[in-house]
């Protein structure tokens, strides 16, 4: 954890969003962030979660944070919305598909409902655990589909729509995938890869509303591949908050 914090704080960030924070690491992260001038908010950690480790999301910023409720999230430790100045940041770690009770579907639906109303500069970001595949034309296959793109009978259209809601469904409301907007759709850029067999998925995202100008957005694959600091590549972006760009 200490080496992870060193790498993050070496960037002199104004905003840090973490996923997979554990009861053992939460205090150390908050302390290190505070030393760097960042105030942290941690989603409530459950005492136990059947079939899953107790993992929470944490958001830290240089400005004071105000927690914003997000209704009907099945696992509250996996979604944290805060307001940092004029910017609302929704930090998400989506449950993986096999988790019971439609946890993944309900999480995406709850966050989409939250972002589909209201206005102002907003971000939704984190490990969204989707999509399964991205195509050069910008279309995506979710994990509701099999390797050939066919909709799985055990998941169906609701699952497909829920998974795509945050990365594509918010486009009509002015949001866009910051990485793809800046870098196009040709590069695969998996942020998680199978340890032995190769291949992987771009699961980690930054989705920004029209009022947020993102001028740089890239993955630190070296932190994962060479330095082994995480099984996910960190996403680093430069952004500013202002009026929406003219259409």
Q: pLDDT, tens digit, for every residue of 219-236?
A: 999 999 999 999 999 999
Q: Which residues have a Cβ under 8 Å from the Cβ of 15 and sit 6 or more positions away? A: 59, 60, 61, 62, 84, 89
pLDDT of 35 > 90? The answer is yes
Q: pLDDT, tens digit, for every residue of 96-152?
A: 999 989 999 999 999 999 999 988 999 999 999 999 999 998 899 999 999 999 999
Residue matched to tokens 């809601």 = 165
DSSP alpha helix (H) spans, the chain: 2-9, 26-35, 103-116, 156-164, 178-183, 221-225
- What pLDDT does 141 receive? 96
The candidate with the shortest Cα–Cα distance to 134, out of 167, 161, 175, 166, is 167
Can you give the pTM of this predicted structure? Answer: 0.93
Domain coordinates of the chain in residue numbers? 62-240
Question: Using CA atoms, how far apart are residues 227 and 7, in angstroms rounded to an integer?
Answer: 11
The predicted model gives 41-51 an average pLDDT of 82
- What pLDDT does 247 receive? 41
The domain defined by 62-240 folds into Deoxyribonuclease I; Chain A (3.60.10)
């Amino acid at each position: 954890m200490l080496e992870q914090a060193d790498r993050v704080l070496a960037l002199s960030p104004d905003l840090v969003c973490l996923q997979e924070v554990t009861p053992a690491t939460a205090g150390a992260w908050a302390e290190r962030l505070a030393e760097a001038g960042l105030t942290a908010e941690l989603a409530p950690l459950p005492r136990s979660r059947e079939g899953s480790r107790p993992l929470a999301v944490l958001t830290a910023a240089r400005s004071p944070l105000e927690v914003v409720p997000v209704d009907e999230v099945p696992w509250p430790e996996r979604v944290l919305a805060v307001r940092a100045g004029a910017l609302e940041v929704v930090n998400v770690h989506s449950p993986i598909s096999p988790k019971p009770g439609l946890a993944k579907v309900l999480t995406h639906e709850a966050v989409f409902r939250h972002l589909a109303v209201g206005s102002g500069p907003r971000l939704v970001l984190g490990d969204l655990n989707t999509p399964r595949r991205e195509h050069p034309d910008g279309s995506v296959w979710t994990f509701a589909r099999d390797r050939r793109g066919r909709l799985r009978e055990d998941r169906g259209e609701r699952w497909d729509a829920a998974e795509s809601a945050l990365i594509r469904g918010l486009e009509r409301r002015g949001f866009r995938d910051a990485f793809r907007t800046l870098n196009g759709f040709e590069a695969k850029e998996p942020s998680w890869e199978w340890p032995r067999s190769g291949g992987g998925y771009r699961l980690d995202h930054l989705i920004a509303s029209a009022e947020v100008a993102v001028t740089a957005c890239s993955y630190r694959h070296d932190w994962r591949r060479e330095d082994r600091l995480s099984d996910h590549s960190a996403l680093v972006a430069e952004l500013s908050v202002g009026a929406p760009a003219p259409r």
